[in-house]
Amino acid sequence: MLTNDTLTLLPHTDQRMAEIADKVRRGERLNLEDGVYLYQSDDLLTIGQLANEVNLKKNGKKAYFIENMSLYFTNVCESYCAFCNFRKDQGEEGSYTLSGEQMVEYVEQHIHPGIREFHIVGGHNNHVPFQYYVDSLKALHERFPEVTLKAYTAAEIDFFTRISGLTIREVLTELQKAGLQSLTGGGAEILSDQYREKMKVDKANVDQYLEVHRTAHQMGIKTGTTMLYGSIESHEDRVRHMIQIRDLQDETNGFMVFIPLSMQPKSKNANIMRRNSAYEDLKTIAISRLMLDNIQHIKAYFINIGTQLTQVALTFGASDVHGTILKERISHAAGANTPEGLTRKELIWLVKGAGRIPVERDTFYNEIQVFE
Is 169 annotated in a binding site? The answer is no
- Between CA 125 and CA 89 the distance in angstroms is 9
Concatenated DSSP letters of 329-347: -HHHHTT--S-S---HHHH
Helical packing angle, 15-26 and 44-59, nearest 10°: 0
Q: 362 with 117: CB under 8 angstroms?
A: yes
309 residue type, one letter = L
Annotated binding residue at 82? Answer: no
User: Which helix (H) or strand (E) covers residue 172, if one does?
Assistant: helix 168-178
> CB–CB of 107/144 below 8 Å?
yes
d(CA 203, CA 187): 8
Q: What are phi and psi of 188, to 5 degrees?
A: -75, -40
Give yes or no for a contact between 78 and 72, defined as CB atoms under 8 angstroms apart: no
Instruction: Please tell me whether 84 is known to bind a ligand.
Output: yes
Q: What radius of gyration, in Å, describes the C-alpha atoms of the chain?
A: 20
Q: Which string of DSSP letters, residue by residue, matches 251-309?
A: HH--EEEEEEEEPP-S-TT--GGGS--HHHHHHHHHHHHHH-TT-SEEB--HHHH-HHH
* Contact between residue 213 and residue 223 where contact means Cβ atoms under 8 Å apart: yes
Q: Report the candidate in 79, 80, 72, 76 with the shortest Cα–Cα distance to residue 110.
A: 72
Label the pairing between strands 320-323 and 62-66. Answer: parallel
Instruction: Cite the annotated binding site by residue number.
Output: 77, 81, 84
Instruction: Cite the annotated binding site for [4Fe-4S] cluster by residue number.
Output: 77, 81, 84
